[in-house]
Amino acid sequence: MQGNSPVTNTSNDSSSPNTTQPFSSDYLESKVKQVGPHVYELDIPKDIDEVEFIVFGCQGSGKDSQKQTAKLMDEVASKSNIQCIFGAGDNVYDWGATTPYDPVFNSYFHDIYNHPELKTLKEKKFFMALGNHDGNFQNAANAAYYRYTNPTGEKTEIREVEHSYIDNPEERAALYSNTKIDPKKLPQWNMPYYFESVILGDTQVFILDSSTYAKEYLNSLNGKINPDKVNQAQWLEEEYKIAKASGRKIAVLMHHPFYTSGKRAFPSDFDSSHYLYPKEIDEINEITHSNTKSYNQLLKNIFDKQDIHFDVVFAAHDHFLSYYNDKAVAKEQGLVQITAGGGGGKLQDRKSYAGHPYVEFLEQNGFWKVTHNKKTNELFFEMYTTDGHHLKFSDKNHLPIRTPSKDQQYELLRKCVLFSCDQYLNKLKMAEIINKKSKETTNPGMLYGIFNQTTHLFNKSVNVVTSAVKHFMPADYFTQEITTLHQLKAYFNHVESSSYLDALSVTEKYLRNIILETPLDNSFYFMLKESIEKEMKIPVNELFKTIKTFNTTAEFN
């Protein structure tokens, strides 16, 4: 017997696992090794035209945000034909599970997604990927230790894999040894191995452990053999060729994204050093003819070197929701990426704007619903947030899919808002590019304020903002401005348009957060005010007076 004292499952639903500890961790691990990695073909109806599934990640907190996201997932699942759900990692914050019977499996998963009040979600099967927290790669107390000794974290990761076997190891090992599986026979939590692949109709999803992939790639080149684990990089190369020949859409589910607009957009060796020795980073750069310390980019370079190209990347790691599609400008295949890190962990803000206009971003809790239309062979991605946003995209390009309003006034207001969003984001993009080239972040004359406003993205400080700008702006003004911009941009890109008066009300509500006594020329508010007054031929203050709820205590300038 290993681990803590027995823990009894608190759920009344029989589909939850028996969380007492009748089997040792060593025995469970032997079953994991016996099974190894597989490609599973789920037995789903052949006559359906669309295959639907959900992707989420960075959820394992047990907090209200995770529970509210689960509730929304249940609502969407009840109106859809969801075949299964994919988790992109960070299932157990902050340092992974201590045993396969750890109480966190209940508090962070079963008690949430198997909650009695959820009508549909508790019947769905989850395939879970490993994140950096699941392998305890990020423990701040051991950061210096990781920098020099670089433990792989697999001794921690295995606990989440073993959890899939705790009910009946023999029976579960037999089930996971099949290549074709009836989803009804699966438990709710599924992690048969560190990595595997799932086929849903004409879509194949490779589920990878991205925290160890780079090291395993080097091991495969250097002939290093781990007797306890199949080499992931070698396995993927072989299975990818088979998947490619099948003509299916090929997706990857892994924790680390290729593209990021978050804090890792400005890389140091700290992130990579969780997973690789400095000499290993240098070795990968030499092999891939690159020069980067970004782990995200190192992974991308490795896959390119292996000639592995996915139709879509499902990732997390960044605690927000975003969609990236650069097919419009890519010289070759381009990158289509879903970042689904809003599953319930503490949210993170946007740091980089260089990807504009090919990225959609929301710092909100939520998830993505993915649909593969078999007739058109097109993938559709729908973002749902707990704040009520619903956006839709396809793998063809970065443009949102929506039903235009029949109200010309609504469409004109939308045009003004989106033009101003684009104008402002382009200025931030320009400032970032200039900053990257010059490395000078204290020039007060560049872009008058915009450059200074963005310097805290690079210096992590707002102290470099000039006193003149400080006079006009609260300390958190830039953060409020960016939040307002993203909220408005998302609202006017919703799948279904609201009424014109509702749109006015929402616009007025968000602008209240960033109104200034003396608007700065380069502020988002000033740009939107100018655009509205130019296109709609009416002062902003007069326009918003058409709303019954207009607050007359503050005037729009």
Residue 176 has pLDDT above 80, yes or no: yes
503 in the same domain as 387? no
Euclidean distance between CA atoms 193 and 551, whole angstroms: 58
Instruction: Render pLDDT for 258-281 as a digit per residue (tens, 0 to 9).
Output: 999 999 988 666 688 889 999 999
What is the pLDDT of the chain when averaged over all its residues?
87
Number of domains in the chain: 2
245 Cβ contact partners less than 8 Å away, ≥ 6 residues apart:
none
446 in the same domain as 381? no
390 in the same domain as 421? no
Q: In the structure encoding, which two tokens stand for residue 319, read together?
A: 């605690």
386 in the same domain as 418? no
Kindly report which listed range (160-174, 360-374, 450-464) carries the lowest average pLDDT score: 450-464
pLDDT of residue 267: 65
DSSP state of 360: E
What phi and psi values does residue 524 have, to the nearest 5 degrees?
-65, -40
Q: For the whole model, what pTM was predicted? A: 0.89
Residue 453 has pLDDT above 80, yes or no: no
Residue 556 has pLDDT above 50, yes or no: no
Euclidean distance between CA atoms 293 and 457, whole angstroms: 19
**DSSP helix/strand/coil, 227:** coil
User: 355 in a domain, yes or no?
Assistant: yes
pLDDT of residue 435: 83
Instruction: Render pLDDT for 62-79 as a digit per residue (tens, 0 to 9).
Output: 999 999 999 999 999 999
Question: E strands along 395-501, which residues?
Answer: none
pLDDT of residue 476: 81
289 in the same domain as 199? yes
Rg, Å, the chain Cα set: 25
Interior CA angle at 319 toward 206 and 379, to 5°? 40
327 in the same domain as 240? yes
- Give me the amino acid identity at 29: E
- Tell me the percentage of the chain whose pLDDT exceeds 90: 74
pLDDT of residue 446: 40
326 in the same domain as 430? no
User: 108 in a domain, yes or no?
Assistant: yes
- Tell which wins on pLDDT, 310 or 432: 310
Mean of pLDDT values over 518-524? 81
Tokens 């191995």 label which residue?
193
User: 481 in a domain, yes or no?
Assistant: yes
Pairing between β-strand 312-315 and β-strand 390-394 as defined by DSSP bridges: unpaired
Q: In the structure encoding, which two tokens stand for residue 410, read together?
A: 């609504």
Instruction: Render pLDDT for 13-40 as a digit per residue (tens, 0 to 9).
Output: 445 666 567 899 999 999 999 999 999 9
If one counts every other C-beta atom within 10 angstroms of the C-beta of residue 225, the result is 10
Interior CA angle at 314 toward 308 and 317, to 5°? 110
pLDDT of residue 457: 41
465 in the same domain as 378? no
User: 10 in a domain, yes or no?
Assistant: no
Residue 452 has pLDDT above 90, yes or no: no
Instruction: Render pLDDT for 378-418 as a digit per residue (tens, 0 to 9).
Output: 999 999 999 999 999 999 999 999 999 999 999 999 999 99
If one counts every other C-beta atom within 10 angstroms of the C-beta of residue 103, the result is 18
Instruction: Render pLDDT for 407-426 as a digit per residue (tens, 0 to 9).
Output: 999 999 999 999 999 999 99
pLDDT of residue 551: 47
Q: What CATH number corresponds to the domain at position 168?
A: 3.60.21.10
Kindly report which listed range (154-158, 200-204, 305-309) carries the lowest average pLDDT score: 154-158
389 in the same domain as 424? no
User: 281 in a domain, yes or no?
Assistant: yes
Euclidean distance between CA atoms 148 and 276, whole angstroms: 9
Residue 460 has pLDDT above 80, yes or no: no
Q: In the structure encoding, which two tokens stand for residue 398, read together?
A: 């970065």
Q: What sign for the dihedral angle of Cα 28, 34, 38, 43? A: negative
Q: What is the length of the chain?
A: 557
Domain edge (last residue) among 370, 394, 418: 394
pLDDT of residue 262: 94
Partners of 390 in the β-ladder: 384
282 in the same domain as 333? yes
Euclidean distance between CA atoms 255 and 317, whole angstroms: 6
441 in the same domain as 333? no
Q: Indicate the burial class of 541 (C-beta count within 10 angstroms; 0-12, 13-18, 19 or more).
A: middle
User: 445 in a domain, yes or no?
Assistant: yes
User: 557 in a domain, yes or no?
Assistant: no
Which domain does 442 fall in, by range?
408-544
Domain edge (last residue) among 359, 394, 429: 394
User: 335 in a domain, yes or no?
Assistant: yes
Domain edge (last residue) among 394, 424, 448: 394
**DSSP helix/strand/coil, 44:** coil
Euclidean distance between CA atoms 69 and 59, whole angstroms: 9
Instruction: Render pLDDT for 210-221 as a digit per residue (tens, 0 to 9).
Output: 999 999 999 999
522 in the same domain as 376? no
* Angle of helix 450-459 versus helix 408-438 axis, rounded to 10: 60
